[in-house]
């Protein structure tokens, strides 16, 4: 039995047909929708905001929406995405002055809370807020763009995060984001991840179902 989740990043979807793209990837067997929010301030790129999240809910998307905030500051966006139907809201600790408070804010609005760690950022902050986390997300590329290569040092960091989670006794998902493909997903799972974001590997394929099924076979 496994509780692995595959979360396609819509960053690599065709934005002109976003509703159809999300329907297609969920019909193809994906579990969650990973929703990348970039503000051209915390990261050098600009994407989509709460109105698009709300539009997906209105369109009929019932799957969990996993909102990855790459914005600074975070609290206003947390409120807006909670209103817009987000399931998970994760943010980068360096983008909030008061990490503990922002985590509490997410849960107080009925969403699940998570912290995101860039490739060169240590996990120290997480230790002090384990009881306020539903997810730890490790970036395996530098945030801002899809289609980059997986940074191998992330595998050791996954093992570190897995040990931290297991020692805490809390139910915390361990998500990986960046450069995940059918070729490396098994190794990433073996290092401790249980939630897999994949953007270009899925949306650049002709047959989403074929890629999602191949990833699941690798995870089995
Ligand atoms: C990068 C984003 C990722 C990205 C992943 O800042 O957080 O979610 O879309 O894309 P791939 O899977 O193509 O690396
Ligand atoms: Zn992301």
The minimum-distance atom of ligand 1 relative to the CA of 43 is 6
**CA of residue 133 to ligand 1 center, whole Å:** 22
206 given a catalytic annotation: no
Contact status, residue 129 vs residue 165, Cβ threshold 8 Å: no
Mean pLDDT on 160-170 = 98
Q: Identify the pLDDT of residue 1.
A: 38
- DSSP helix/strand/coil, 75: helix
8 lines ligand 1 (CB under 6 A): no
Catalytic residue among 36, 66, 134, 194: 36
Helix (H) or strand (E) holding 65: strand 65-70
Instruction: Say which ligand is closest to the CA of 203.
Output: 1
Burial of 139 (0-12, 13-18, 19+ CB in 10 A): buried
202 lines ligand 1 (CB under 6 A): no
Write out pLDDT tens, residues 84-143. 999 999 999 999 999 999 999 999 999 999 999 999 999 999 999 999 999 999 999 999
- pTM for the model stands at 0.98
- Contacts of residue 189, defined as CB under 8 A and 6 or more positions apart, other chains included, come to 4, 196, 218, 219
ipTM, interface predicted TM-score of the complex? 0.98
Q: How far is 199 from 149, CA to CA, in rounded Å?
A: 12
Write out pLDDT tens, residues 28-81. 999 999 999 999 999 999 999 999 999 999 999 999 999 999 999 999 999 999
Query: What residue segments make up the domains of the chain, in order of their start?
Result: 5-219
Instruction: Say which ligand is closest to the CA of 9.
Output: 1
Q: Identify the pLDDT of residue 2.
A: 61
Tokens of 185: 């997903």
Q: How far is 132 from 100, CA to CA, in rounded Å?
A: 8
**Cβ atoms < 10 Å from Cβ of 74:** 27
CATH 3.40.50.150 fits 5-219, yes or no: no
9 lines ligand 1 (CB under 6 A): yes
């Amino acid at each position: 039995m496994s509780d692995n989740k595959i979360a396609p990043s819509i960053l690599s979807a065709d934005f002109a047909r976003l509703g159809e793209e999300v329907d297609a990837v969920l019909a193809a067997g994906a579990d969650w929708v990973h929703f990348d929010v970039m503000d051209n301030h915390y990261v050098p790129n600009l994407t989509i905001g709460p109105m698009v999240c709300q539009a997906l809910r209105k369109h009929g998307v019932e799957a969990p929406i996993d909102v990855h905030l790459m914005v600074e500051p975070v609290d206003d966006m947390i409120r807006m995405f909670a209103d817009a139907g987000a399931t998970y809201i994760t943010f980068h600790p360096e983008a909030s002055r008061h990490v503990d408070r922002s985590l509490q804010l997410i849960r107080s609005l009925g969403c699940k809370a998570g912290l995101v760690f860039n490739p060169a950022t240590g996990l120290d902050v997480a230790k002090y807020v384990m009881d306020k986390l539903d997810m730890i997300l490790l970036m395996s590329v530098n945030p801002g763009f899809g289609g980059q290569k997986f940074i191998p040092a992330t595998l050791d960091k996954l093992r570190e995060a897995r040990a931290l989670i297991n020692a805490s006794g809390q139910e915390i998902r361990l998500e990986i984001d960046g450069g995940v493909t059918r070729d490396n997903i098994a190794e990433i799972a073996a290092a401790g991840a249980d939630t897999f974001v994949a953007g270009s590997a899925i949306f650049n394929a002709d047959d989403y179902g074929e890629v999602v099924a191949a990833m699941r076979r690798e995870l089995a």
